[in-house]
Each structure stands twice: as structure tokens, then as C-alpha cells.
Amino acid sequence: MLDARLRPLIDPPLNAVGRALARVGVTANIVTLSGIALAIAAGVVLAQGHYGWGLALTIANRLLDGLDGAVARATRLSDFGGYLDIVGDFLFYLAVPLGFGLADPAHLKPALALLFCFGLTGISFLAFATLAAKRGLETTAHGKKSFFYNTGLAEGTETIAVFIAICLWPQHFTALAYGFAALCLITVAQRTAAAWSLFRD
């Protein structure tokens, strides 16, 4: 919901850093793989109850997620880079709730609910992108991407905000997880309605 509105604010500094990294030979895929390593590390430390470290790794992961696209724009976009980026995104989205679920038995059910809803949201996102590409649809609302990004109530900005909140206040994980799971389901419903409008024959 907020991603497109934040783009004009975050893209200029990210692009500047991306150009600097590209000049010294850092590739977008290296940045993406580094982010993937941080996502796995975040899940591991959260599973051990180290929420402060989890917060730091979450923020670092999201920074790298923004920088890989900036480096790609400074060099060249590639289909494999787009694939690697979205795999890294969903690995991160799944690793954090999984870590919380493993850290505390009381967190397991809300973590599973959130994982289920993230999975469903991801499926709807990728299915929409596949059909949009088939029909030649394009959008730049989320910046220049390798494939179509459909908007919704629960996007990257909202997910990051919730993940930061659960790291800061893990005692409220259950309420935050169920609440965001509900927003994910609403997003799936929104995307399904948009698909019905655009793709029905």
C-alpha cells in the first residue's frame, strides 16, 4: 500500500549508493546473495530468542534488498537477477515468522498462520505477475522491476514495519502476527478481484 508512495523518497539515495557500488565492481547478484545470507541469519538468531540481533539483521537485509535493484539499474537488469531477488524476498518473509515460532511454543500457532498467509500472498503475487507478463502489461509504480508488481494492502513497507514491531515487542507477537495475517488475506482478495477484472475472457 505504501511502497509506491515511498519510492520517490528512498530511490535517490539508494541509486546513489548503487552507482558507487557498481563503480567498484559489486554486482547486483552479490548484493542479493548477501541479503539472503542475512535473512537466514535473522531466522536463526530469532529462533534462539535474540530479538535485538534479529532486528539488526532484518534492517540490514531490507537495506540490501533495496540496494541490489539500485546496483542493477546502474549496470543492467537481468531476468535471473529478478528471479533471485524475489526468492530472497520470500525467504526473508518466511524466515522471520519461522524464527519466532521456534523461539517460543506460544508463538508457534500464530507463526504458522502468518506463514500460511505469506505463502498464499506470494502465490497470488506471482500468479498475477505471470498472467500480466503474458498479456504484456507493465507498471512502474514500484520502480523499474523485472516483472509486474501488483499493489495491495500488505506490501513490503507494511511487512518491514510489522517485523520491526515484533522484534521490538516480541510479547505482542501473537496479536501482530494474526493481525498482519488478516491483512495478507485481504491483499489476496484485492489481487483476486483485480485479476478477475483484468484477466477474465
CB atoms within 10 A of CB 79: 9
- Residue 70 C-alpha cell reads as 539500485
The number of residues in the chain equals 201
Q: Which helix (H) or strand (E) holds 84?
A: helix 79-103
User: How many structural domains compose the chain?
Assistant: 1
Kindly report the CATH number assigned to the domain that includes residue 166: 1.20.120.1760
Alpha helices by DSSP H, 104-172 = 108-134, 156-168
Q: State the Cα–Cα distance between residues 165 and 159, nearest whole angstrom.
A: 10
3-state DSSP assignment of residue 83: helix
Domain with 164, as residue range(s), is 3-199
Catalytic residue positions?
Answer: 89
The one-letter amino acid at 133: A
Per-residue tens of pLDDT for the chain, all 201 residues? 555 566 666 777 888 888 999 899 999 999 999 999 999 999 999 999 999 999 999 999 999 998 998 999 888 888 899 899 999 999 999 999 999 999 999 999 999 999 999 999 999 988 988 888 888 876 655 455 555 566 767 777 889 999 999 999 999 999 999 999 999 999 999 999 988 988 887
The one-letter amino acid at 134: K
